[in-house]
Amino acid sequence: MSTDAVLERIGVTGHIHLTHDTEVLVAAALRAELHRIGDQPVRGVTCLAGGTDQIFARTVLDLGGTYEVILPARDYREAVIAPGQRASFDELLDRAVAVVHTGHDRSGTAAFVAANRELVRRVQRLVAVWDGEPGCHAASTDRTIDRARRRGIPISVLWPAGARRTLPGAY
């Protein structure tokens, strides 16, 4: 049996727009949480959005784990990922052990909801980087947490002391 077959899949959801200082705090919190969950290599599942998802992917790699990516739509890179962040996105996408497409051509709420549903369907545990505030659309962090709770998936919510969000496009 392959090692991947026995690894618990840990999904991530969380805020995209984080201050630089918060990104550092989130990376440390994710590292600590993944260590707390267990000493085995992590098999992560991420949509590879900016902010939390990409920090999670890098943390998983740093800890010797692997991750799968769920792409919400075929145009996701061009439509959603800022030009200055595409090289980092491409690098992380290339390092994924599997890439799953939702079947949507265009990015938008329906594609993001489909990706979050697929993420929750695939995982045995969810780590959320969330400030506790309700989201403003159907694919927001709180909705993904609610979906995981309804499925009985254990959830760890992280929001480090001093963490702050930025406005979209603020830096």
- 3 state SS of 93: helix
Give the pLDDT band of residue 3 (cuts 50, 70, 90): very low
- CA dist 49 to 24, 40, 98, 152, Å? 17, 25, 16, 24
The answer to whether residue 102 is domain-embedded is yes
Q: How many other CB atoms sit within 10 Å of the CB of residue 136?
A: 8
The yes-or-no verdict on residue 69 having pLDDT over 80 is yes
CATH number of the domain enclosing 145: 3.40.50.450
Q: What is the pLDDT of residue 168?
A: 63
Q: What integer is the mean pLDDT of 134-150?
A: 83
Confidence (pTM): 0.92
Q: What is the pLDDT of residue 97?
A: 98
Q: What integer is the mean pLDDT of 64-75?
A: 98
The answer to whether residue 26 is domain-embedded is yes
pLDDT digits (tens, 9 = 90+) for 16-61: 889 999 999 999 999 999 999 988 889 999 999 999 999 999 999 9
Q: Domain span at residue 34? A: 7-158
**Ramachandran sector of residue 119 (left: φ over 0; alpha: ψ -120 to 50; beta: rest):** alpha
Number of domains in the chain: 1
pLDDT digits (tens, 9 = 90+) for 92-138: 999 999 999 999 999 999 999 999 999 999 999 999 999 888 776 66
Q: What is the pLDDT of residue 88?
A: 95
Give the pLDDT band of residue 139 (cuts 50, 70, 90): low
The answer to whether residue 168 is domain-embedded is no
Q: What integer is the mean pLDDT of 144-170?
A: 89
